[in-house]
Amino acid sequence: MENKNFKILHVGHGKKKMSNICNKYLYSQGLNFIRPFDESYRKINEKNLEEIKELIPNYFGKKTIYTINPEHGDRIVDVDEYNLETESIKIGDIKIIRPTQKCDALITEYYFPLVIFPADCEVAGLVDYKKGIKALVHSGWRGTLKEILPKTIFEFLLRGSKIQDIQVILGPMLLKENFEIKDDYIDDFKNYISGLGAEKKIISYNVVKDCYNIDLFEIILQQLKNIGIRNIDTSLVEDTYSAVDDRNNLRYHSYRRDKDDFRNICLFM
């Protein structure tokens, strides 16, 4: 089912435990989510979840999604662990579950919908159809420098995946033109990219604004290439800060632009 509120990428049919569905990566356009575990925002979250609930598959007659408790780090949680400590909230017909432990990536061998509520950070979908494994990864600039995406891919390899069988889907994120930092963190980036081997220029100095523009997208691409990932879909990548629709309306919420609490939603099913 298509939905006007999303950019949707169909990424094929899963196998093994994911055999009953066609995997999809969905990224919202114009929906308004605010901290779903905060009861203060229940009404606004319920309204927006109501608009998308038909996209969420039933699991034993219930609509359940798994999300992260983010910390902008590199911790990965396996949602299949039988003793995983979680907390949950039911909003309308949808139950949202997240680990109590803070993390920025979820991995599973089941077809539970994985969900992240981003502002400007990259949210990457990973899938290996041969082994029946998928993950959803929240990679902001801190998580990118900590290499959360390569570390999540390593978790696939530990589960028996082969690097050539792993597909990565990259979505909207803050692109170079609008990702600006001052002197306080520039050394972190300079030190990191010195050994990255990127072909494109990642750091540019903006004389007018006296700041640096950083190409996080290129860093992520180079990280993936460096570990042998070749199946990378970038068809949905565009700038969360500036992208507009056919009517020239802004497509996404952007914390860098708006400085508010509204978030987008990304689902990997």
Residues facing residue 45 across a β-bridge:
none
What is the amino acid identity at position 105?
Answer: A
Asked whether 67 and 96 are in contact (CB, 8 A), the reply is yes
- 160-191: per-residue pLDDT in tens? 999 999 999 999 999 999 999 999 999 999 99
> Can you say whether the dihedral through the CA atoms of 87, 89, 90, 94 is positive or negative?
negative
Query: What value does the mean pLDDT take over residues 82-91?
Result: 96
Query: What value does the mean pLDDT take over residues 46-75?
Result: 92
User: For residue 5, is pLDDT > 80?
Assistant: no
- 7-30: per-residue pLDDT in tens? 777 665 444 444 444 578 999 988
Between CA 190 and CA 202 the distance in angstroms is 9
Nearest to 115 by CA among 223, 221, 6, 251: 6
List Cα–Cα distances, 189 to 102, 121, 154, 203, 236, in angstroms. Answer: 24, 16, 23, 8, 25
Between CA 187 and CA 214 the distance in angstroms is 12
Domains, the chain, in order of start with CATH, read 6-174+242-268 (3.60.140.10)
List Cα–Cα distances, 57 to 11, 114, 152, in angstroms. Answer: 16, 12, 25
Helices and strands, counts by H and E, the chain: 6, 16
- 97-152: per-residue pLDDT in tens? 999 999 999 999 998 899 999 999 999 999 999 999 999 999 999 999 999 999 99
- 25-53: per-residue pLDDT in tens? 999 988 889 999 999 999 999 999 998 89
- 215-252: per-residue pLDDT in tens? 999 999 999 999 999 999 999 999 999 999 999 999 99
Q: Tell me, what's the pLDDT at 6?
A: 72
Q: Tell me, what's the pLDDT at 87?
A: 98
